[in-house]
Amino acid sequence: MTKDNLLQSSSSSVARGPRGADGLIDNLLSLLSSSNGTSYCEARYHSRLMTEVNFINGDMQRVRVVENAGCGIRVLVEGCWGFSSTSNIEPGALRESLAEATSSARVLAQVKKNKVKGLADSRMARGEFRLKANGNLSEVDIEQKIKITKEAEQAARKHSKLIKTASATYRELLDYKAIVNSDGGEVEIHDSKPEFSVVAVAGKTSQTATAHEGVGITGGWNDLFASKSHLDYGVEAAKRAEKLFAARHAKGEKTTIILDPGMVGLLSHEAIGHTVEADFVLSGSIVKDRIGEKVGSELVTLVDSGNSDNAENAAGTIMVDDEAVIAERTVIIENGILRSFLHSRESAMIFGVPSTGNARAFQYNDEPLIRMRNTFFEKGSDTLDEMIKETSHGYLVKGARNGQADANGEFMFGAEEAFLIENGEIKELLRGASISGNAFEVLQSIDMVGNRFKYDIGTGYCGKYQPAKVDGGGPHLRCTAVIGGLQ
Amino acid sequence: MQDLLRHAIRDAESQGAHDAEVFASISSESEVFIENNDIKQAKSQQLGSMGIRVLVNASLGFYSTNILTRDSVRTAATMAVKMARASPKDRFNSLPRKRKVHFLRGIYDKAAESFGSSDAAAAAADMLEAAKSYDSRVTVDSGNFTAARGTQFLASSNGIELREKLSTFSWTIMGMAIQNGDVSSFDFQSGATHFAKKIAVQKTAAEFAEAVTSSLGPRKVDSFRGEMLLTPSAADELVEEVISHSINSDAVQRRSSRFAGKIGKKVSTELLTAEDDATNTEGLGASSFDREGVPHRRNIVIEKGVLKKFLYNTYTAKKQGVSTTGNSGGSTSSPPSVSTTNFIVSPGKSSFHSLISEMKRGIIISRFSGNVNPVNGDFSGVVKGGKLVEKGSVLYPVKDVMVAGNVFEALKNLNGVSKERKVIFDSILPYMRFGNVSFTVG
């Protein structure tokens, strides 16, 4: 990969390089050359500037800028990983950190049974990568970030007397990374990920209803507010909280469920995505040994991609992972057939495939782990109207909330709104509920796939030892699952 | 380091800050990871960071950096003052006055200084071995062992200058049991202590192995209403989260706590007594002073079912016209929040076994996977590692059971608290039994 392949950024610099870090790449490369006795060595400098503003009920609850920068050094010695990090990037401190990583790897060699066999040959990235951003966040003043957050919170709270609590949060991550490794990876990455969200709580003391409205993307200031203004987020959250407050709870039953793109994103990520992470597969996930088998309805094609496929600005876009591997579009399930797991170079070696570019680290002092990026279902041919019309009894569920999944494919996640469908028509809005089932039974049950695509879980972070900015989505999907509520 | 703190305060004042506070932390951590039934990786890190909070005419600015040089600290102080000038004025913003701090014993182990990566690797290996040798069906998906030691520093323009050393050892283990294609529910167990000689990885491994193997071969049951017996871990996920949110003065002032206006009222059956106590050195949340330098103390929040007090930091206390309870929390990377330190539920009179033998029909829940809304108390989710109890006997593990209800309603049906308790990082919790809970099976 050369600089010619790079996506263009609308501004000259998305995230700045480190203060006084000229010649950083050269320093890191010279460090690699001193990594005697290691079979692999990687040095990853990561500088992150995080800005956050939060207003609750008219008060500024939080304002902060957090600078976190340093170098993570990872080595493979006698088939064992050692990882050490330091915020001091002077050559001497880097060498000390390398020595620490090397000696802890040696210690492990005495207790570890299954040694790392090696790292799969993969498409190493070289050059400079800038993730597309319209409107450089670092050029937008802190006053402006405070102002829009304050106004959006106010718009939600002032919308109606029923809104008891409102909050609005603006957050941005501006990243600069320089990654080099002993297998030829040599890359600089500039990334920009802003997010904005409003929460409105309706109701009196004993009964309340909560609604969320937000957006999280890879991109710039103008991308963040391209489809809706900051005030729209406030008003929409308030309107929904008001409606939910007046709604009844859903009844528990197993029935036909139409998932909105956000819920489809959660299904992709939580229910299936985690079971195909190769580290999870090696621990005995339900899809172990099932590559090539039918695991879902043939209407199902599921993808995890480091690029923003099908729609712009997906929050999990990385282009290059933290092992300096090009972050490929990975087809996990193709027309119902399981095709691929998600890999780092270590797991890819075990499975005899190239890495899919899923090794990610949240900050400099985190080691790369197998993580998802943008996980989604490909769209089909049905309109949402047709899907509702052809449902005699069921629910349309919207608004992805928390989700969790187990190794056996059982999942549970929350939806903010559930619309009861009777005889092909939407009858009534019900309060959010949990949706659960076995991921692969649900996949098998998918019988209609919508024709409009959207990413919609970009405000969320995935947690697996470390947070990771991910996204997910797809079209509307019709399936069978359990909706839970009060009995 | 203390010099750097003083410089930061002077820099902020010279930029125009009326008040300035610096919280800093220097630590050294050694961690070993377990993955897929084997030792995975060793990790060591030297961490150092500081957070500068400044007030300009009662407007707040906050900047945190992990680059601890004079230049970087000067930039941080300058930026913090710039942010404060852009922030709205809030008359409740202030820094606490200097108070006398009584330093706790029992939160720093000198042995931590010589506890290196080889010791951490040995402890992780012990834990893994104990889980695997407990039962061959056990699969350890992941786990870790972490040894950390460090010093926290606090200085402010009100003359506070404090520092304290802390050491912690903590470990986790998670995974499942697999037998002939039957995969058990996922389980997670943990342990933590301030002292090297109290490390008990084998005990934790055995608890984990017992939990996953005993949930193999689950059966379906019909939907019913009955009793719910939560293990300490499940109580942590369900009850602790809701109560600690509701006793937080910040939530009370934001009108998002169901306990607002209920001081002196009954919020539970009289079996519940709960406190927040950073001076209890069993919990990992122990330390001598809070995030603003206010001495820590024991605060009883619920006594025999009656709500006694909320937890405050300097900001929320000033807003309410009361004194801080020493519950300012947070790291160097955020301005102070209000938080619990160690959340402790007092032991009951019953044994765990008698809690079971008194049950007519119900489910023991060791893990809950779902949503808990700390504002209104609604919860719904899937029961993990659930076991059916009938007429006082544990019958078999159950599957596909969803449980839903409301924590505040459940507290009015709390009908059993065990004398056995477990330390879960910064919570110390017993087994808790609730009547009249709805279990749904799909």
pLDDT per residue as tens digits for the range B199-254: 999 999 999 999 999 999 999 999 999 999 999 999 999 999 999 999 999 999 98
List CB contacts (< 8 A) between B139 and chain A: 283-284
pLDDT at A485: 62
| Residue B198, number of CB atoms within 10 A of its CB | 12
**Residues in contact with B363: Cβ distance below 8 Å, sequence separation at least 6, in sequence order:** B226, B227, B228, B229, B383, B386, B387, B388, B389, B398, B401, B403, B439
Is A164 in contact with B255 (Cβ distance < 8 A)? Answer: yes
Interface test with A, best of B378, B398, B401, B409 (most A CBs within 10 A): B378
Asked if the model's pLDDT at residue B278 lies above 70, the reply is yes
Tokens standing for residue A421: 């469908």
Alpha-carbon span A18 to A13, nearest angstrom: 13
First CA to last CA distance, chain A = 58
A150 in helix, strand or coil?
Answer: helix
Annotated domain spans of chain A:
3-245, 253-484
Tell me which residue has tokens 């802003």.
Answer: A194
Interface test with A, best of B142, B184, B380 (most A CBs within 10 A): B380
Task: Tell whether B242 and B209 lie within a shared domain.
Answer: no
Task: Tell whether B261 and B224 lie within a shared domain.
Answer: yes
Is B440 in contact with A254 (Cβ distance < 8 A)? Answer: no
Task: Tell whether B256 and B397 lie within a shared domain.
Answer: yes
Is A107 in contact with B118 (Cβ distance < 8 A)? Answer: yes
pLDDT at A1: 31
CB B248 within 8 A of CB B387: no
Is B43 in contact with A367 (Cβ distance < 8 A)? Answer: yes
List CB contacts (< 8 A) between B127 and chain A: none
Rounded to an integer, the average pLDDT of A405-426 is 89
Task: Tell whether B181 and B301 lie within a shared domain.
Answer: no
Domain of B261?
A: 220-442
pLDDT at A205: 62
A325 in helix, strand or coil?
Answer: strand
Task: Tell whether B197 and B227 lie within a shared domain.
Answer: no
Is B36 in contact with A67 (Cβ distance < 8 A)? Answer: no
Domain edge (last residue) among B158, B186, B213: B213
Percent of chain A with pLDDT over 90: 77
List CB contacts (< 8 A) between A103 and chain B: 117
pLDDT tens digits, one per residue of A88-142: 888 999 999 999 899 889 989 988 888 999 999 999 999 999 999 999 999 999 9
List CB contacts (< 8 A) between A87 and chain B: 46-48, 66-68
Number of C-alpha atoms within 13 angstroms, CB side, residue A415?
31
- Using pLDDT thresholds of 50, 70 and 90, give the confidence band for residue A460: confident
Average pLDDT in chain A: 91
Rounded to an integer, the average pLDDT of A252-258 is 94
Tokens standing for residue A227: 């489809």
Tell me which residue has tokens 């505040």.
Answer: B408
- Asked casually if ipTM beats, i.e. exceeds, 0.90, the reply is no
pLDDT tens digits, one per residue of B324-382: 999 999 999 999 999 999 999 999 999 999 999 999 999 999 988 888 999 999 998 88
Q: Which top CATH class is A3-245?
A: alpha beta
Is B225 in contact with A67 (Cβ distance < 8 A)? Answer: no
**Residues in contact with A211: Cβ distance below 8 Å, sequence separation at least 6, in sequence order:** A199, A200, A201, A202, A237, A238, A239, A240, A241, A244, A399, A416
Rounded to an integer, the average pLDDT of A329-351 is 97
Within an 8 Å CB–CB cutoff, is residue B333 touching chain A? yes
CB B267 within 8 A of CB B239: no
Asked if the model's pLDDT at residue B44 lies above 50, the reply is yes
pLDDT at A12: 33
Asked if the model's pLDDT at residue B144 lies above 60, the reply is yes
Alpha-carbon span A144 to B59, nearest angstrom: 16
Task: Tell whether B202 and B261 lie within a shared domain.
Answer: no
Alpha-carbon span A473 to A374, nearest angstrom: 8
CA distance A47 to chain B (A): 10
Alpha-carbon span A45 to A41, nearest angstrom: 13
Asked if the model's pLDDT at residue A15 lies above 70, the reply is no
Alpha-carbon span A47 to A24, nearest angstrom: 12
Strands A253-259 and A393-405: parallel
**Residues in contact with A306: Cβ distance below 8 Å, sequence separation at least 6, in sequence order:** A316, A317, A318, A319, A320, A321, A326, A327, A328, A329, A357, A358, A373, A374
- Which residues 61-90 of B are in CB contact (within 8 Å) with A? 61-68, 72, 76, 79, 82-83, 86-88, 90
Asked if the model's pLDDT at residue A2 lies above 60, the reply is no
CA A456 to chain centre: 10
Q: How many domains, in total, are found in chain B?
A: 2
Alpha-carbon span A422 to A426, nearest angstrom: 7
**Residues in contact with B159: Cβ distance below 8 Å, sequence separation at least 6, in sequence order:** B98
CA B329 to chain centre: 12
Asked if the model's pLDDT at residue B23 lies above 50, the reply is yes
pLDDT tens digits, one per residue of A261-284: 999 999 999 889 999 999 889 877
Task: Tell whether B252 and B168 lie within a shared domain.
Answer: no
User: CA of B41: which chain A residue's CA is closest?
Assistant: A81
Task: Tell whether B264 and B298 lie within a shared domain.
Answer: yes
Task: Tell whether B192 and B233 lie within a shared domain.
Answer: no
Interface test with A, best of B67, B75, B139, B241 (most A CBs within 10 A): B67
| Residue A121, number of CB atoms within 10 A of its CB | 12
Alpha-carbon span A46 to A69, nearest angstrom: 6
CA Rg value for chain B: 24
Tokens standing for residue A309: 């496929």
CB A173 within 8 A of CB A193: yes
Rounded to an integer, the average pLDDT of B107-130 is 94
Q: What is the CATH number of the domain that holds B128?
A: 3.30.2290.10
Domain edge (last residue) among B195, B213, B231: B213
Rounded to an integer, the average pLDDT of B130-149 is 96
CA distance A421 to chain B (A): 19
Listed range (A375-389, A396-410, B248-262) with the worst mean pLDDT: A396-410
pLDDT tens digits, one per residue of B177-190: 999 888 888 899 99
Q: CA nearest A131: which of A471, A474, A473?
A: A471
Task: Tell whether B86 and B104 lie within a shared domain.
Answer: yes
Angle at A456 between CA A228 and CA A403, to 5 degrees: 140
pLDDT at A433: 86
Percent of chain A with pLDDT over 70: 94
Rounded to an integer, the average pLDDT of B100-109 is 96
Average pLDDT in chain B: 95
pLDDT tens digits, one per residue of A154-203: 999 999 999 988 999 999 999 999 999 999 999 999 999 999 999 999 98
Rounded to an integer, the average pLDDT of B418-433 is 97
Higher pLDDT, B9 or B141: B9
Tokens standing for residue A459: 């405000």
The CA-atom distances, in angstroms, between A254 and each of A275, A439, A481, B222, B441 are 23, 14, 5, 14, 9
User: What residues does A84 pair with on adjacent strands?
Assistant: A73, B44
List CB contacts (< 8 A) between A290 and chain B: none
Question: E strands within B106-160?
Answer: 138-156
pLDDT at A22: 66
Alpha-carbon span B317 to A168, nearest angstrom: 24
CA distance A164 to chain B (A): 7
Alpha-carbon span A204 to A14, nearest angstrom: 45
Task: Tell whether B229 and B366 lie within a shared domain.
Answer: yes
Task: Tell whether B263 and B341 lie within a shared domain.
Answer: yes
CA distance A309 to chain B (A): 30
A15 in helix, strand or coil?
Answer: coil
Is B139 in contact with A67 (Cβ distance < 8 A)? Answer: no
Alpha-carbon span B173 to B391, nearest angstrom: 33
- Using pLDDT thresholds of 50, 70 and 90, give the confidence band for residue A417: very high
| Residue A428, number of CB atoms within 10 A of its CB | 12
Q: CA nearest B404: which of B380, B433, B373?
A: B380
Tell me which residue has tokens 């913090």.
Answer: B80
Alpha-carbon span A194 to A220, nearest angstrom: 7
Is A67 in contact with B64 (Cβ distance < 8 A)? Answer: yes
Buried b (16+ CB within 10 A) or exposed e, A250-276: bebeebbbbbbbbbbbbbbbbbbbbbb
Of A62, A69, A434, nearest to B334 by CB-CB distance is A62
pLDDT at A4: 32
List CB contacts (< 8 A) between B261 and chain A: 205
- Using pLDDT thresholds of 50, 70 and 90, give the confidence band for residue A21: low
CB B94 within 8 A of CB B59: no
User: What residues does B229 pair with on adjacent strands?
Assistant: B364, B433
CB A98 within 8 A of CB A75: yes
Domain edge (last residue) among B213, B228, B249: B213
Q: CA nearest B242: which of B342, B343, B373?
A: B373
pLDDT at A254: 94
| DSSP, res A458 | T
